[in-house]
Every structure is written in C-alpha cells, then in structure tokens.
Structure 1
Amino acid sequence: MTQDHNSALAAAAKAVLGPIGCVRKGKSRTWVADHGWWAGLIEFQPSSWSKGTYLNVGAAWLWHEQDYWSFDDGAGQSGPRVAGFQEARSGGDFRDKARGLAEIAKRELLALRARHCSLEATAKYLASRHDEGIWADYHCGVAAGLTGQRAVAEERFAAVLVAAPVAPWMEELQVRTRELVGLLGSADMFRAAVEGIILRTRGLRKLPALADIWATHARESPEE
C-alpha cells in the first residue's frame, strides 16, 4: 500500500528517532532531542514547489531567550543541511526514502551528542570557531563563562559589544551581553544567570521542567 510521504516521514522518524529520545513537535515535521541546556533539532523541511523533503540537523543552544527554534550548530558542512531534496513521486512509495533520511538524522544527532557531551567539550569546540558572526561570539562567550574561561568569555563578548547594532535584536543581545559580562567575576552568579535564561527559554519553547538542566543525555518523553 502506498503511504502519503508526510505519514511515511512521521512513521520512520518515530521508529528511528523516538528510541533515542527525540520528540515530535505537535504535528510538524520537526523533532527535538532535549539535552537540558541545548537541544538536538531535526527538521524534515518541505519544499514550496514539490512534494518531498530536505533534511536539516543541528544543535540549538537554549541560553538566549527566543520562542522559536534555530540551528546554532549545523551538522552539515556549511550549515544544518545534511541531505538534499528527496522527491515524493506521484504513485511511488516513499517509505524507503523516509527510513533512509531518518537513519541519516540519527547518525548526525549522535555525532552532535558526542561533540557536545559536556559543557567543557562545547566550550572548546566553540572557541575553535572564529569569524562566524555575532551569534557565534555570544554562544562561545556563554560557554566559556560557564566553564571558568574568563579571558575567552571577555574576548568573545567584547566582539558582540563592538558590533554596530543595525537591528533591534542586536541591541537586545548587547544588553544581555553587558549583563553577563558584569557577572564574570563570580562563577556562581554567572551560572545562575545563564540557568535563569535557559529556564525561561525552555518555557517559551514548551519544553518540560527538569530537575537538572545541566545533564546532557536526552530525555525520553511522550509525543506531544
């Protein structure tokens, strides 16, 4: 029996990604793996022109308040795209393609988990990346501050603050950055401030309450 390509993607993702802690966001084609202070993000992205899907995978940091999801560390070579467009042909069976894409998503998510297995690992990784823009500097500064690397945090936060604020979101980011810079002298106060940001972000993105947001393993939870 031929299966609708959306249903085929949902079934494949549930079978392959569900067992490793991924949860579907409502009825969308996006799946999230909750790691407390970050999340693995998997998107079976539709096309505006044809039936089928692209595949995007990446990590989303939760230490900046926003109610939408973004790929902050893409699993692909130059962003989150890890598979090109897979067309769902009329009258064809999309199940094999859907399963193959789900397996790719699983592989890439597991690689992200290995890359970001701890705050220290993430801080080291982010510090190795330069000239990638204001968001990269902010994320690196936060990770460095959380792991006691004050000099690195100050350097990367300074890069955020010297950027010309050409949009309201940049002004807001710089206000938050100044607040965090002022807390770098106290590891406990800095960590508490970032934890508050993460908790608010989790609320905005409707993630469940956790006893410990600093644990890095994915939580298994029922499909929404």
Structure 2
Amino acid sequence: MVKNNFARFRSALLSQTTLLFMLLLFVVATSACSRREAIREESELGEEGEGEVPVAPYDGRLLGQVVFDTVEYIVSREELLQPFIREFGDGTVVDQVMIRKVQETKTDTPAYYLVGLGMRSGAFRSMALELDVAADKSLYLSSSGSKHMCQSGAGCGFCYFTFSGNKITGCECESRAPGNNCTHKFSERNSLLKDVSLRSERRRSDSNK
C-alpha cells in the first residue's frame, strides 16, 4: 500500500518536473526569438541610417523670369556687380551682368546662365552661373548652380563661352590666331549670393509686415 502511494507520488512529481522543464524551455526559446528580432531590427535601422547625409534646404534666389522668350529682371543687374567682384576674388572689376539663354538647336531645352563680365590687369574675365528654371519660367540661382570662368590669355581681347546642347563646355578666343587662347575653369557650386541681402527680397519682406 505504501509502495503504491510512493509510486503515485513519484509519478506525479516527475510529471510536474517535466511540465516545469518544458515551460522553462518555452520561455527561453521565446525570449531568444524576441531578442533576435530586436537585434535584426536595430541592425536594419543602423544600416539604413548609416552614411546618410542630411538634405540641405533649397537656397535658390529669384532673379528673373522668362516672358515670351524675353528675360525680365526681378533683381537689378547693378545690384549683382559687387557679388560678382567678390565671387571672382582676384581683383577682377565687373562692369556688366546679364542673363543669357544657351540653346544650340531648337530641339534642345534652353538653359539660362547669369553672366558677369569684367577686366583684371587689362585681361578679359567672364563668369557664368547656371540658373534653375521653374515650371512658370522663373529663374533662380542656388549655391548648387555650376560656375564657369573664362580668362583671356596674351593677345586675346575677348573670350566666348562654347557650349553643346544647353551646357557650357569651355571657352575660346574671338581671334583664332595661334597663341590667342582662353583658360576655362569649372566648379560645381558657387557662393555669389551668400550673405547677400537683395533689395527685391527686402521689399517683399516689408510688404508682408
């Protein structure tokens, strides 16, 4: 009788131990899965965020607008003389500023450039900055606009920008005589309007007060 009771007790104890052991395995397995998922998600977030460069806000400044193939200046050209002199940064005196269309053929989409012309120590200098064209044909200059510079060599009085399609590709002298050449320099960005307060912007700001 005692033996039977002991056998039943031992059987019940083993059953409870087995149940507890299985429950413990289940908890451990569930915890491991959850941890793996958490690690995987953290890893994916880290990989996606790794190396990302914050996108800078667009800094385009409205300079003009194309109306029936004619450029209407919103910013006076005289106001841009000093910014161009500063952008050259080599003593070039700029006396002409204009917006010019570049379009090799009628099938090419026209591009527009802000151009400054001047002289340094008797040598011709020019700079062209690519403008952004909005859907309504408004023309904006941003710091990401490409910059082209032409510098005349000895014997060359004037340099022309050369282009293909709607992109400036270089410079050439108006005289084709041997030795008369122009130097072309290119930069992907410009700082023409950095820290410059335009009168047109100040007027719009005053009118909104």
> Above 0.5 in TM-score?
no
Q: TM-score, normalised by structure 2?
A: 0.23
- Greater share of residues in helix: 1
Q: Identify, as 1 or 2, the structure richer in strand.
A: 2
**TM-score of the superposed pair, with normalisation by structure 1:** 0.22
Give the structure with higher Rg (CA).
2
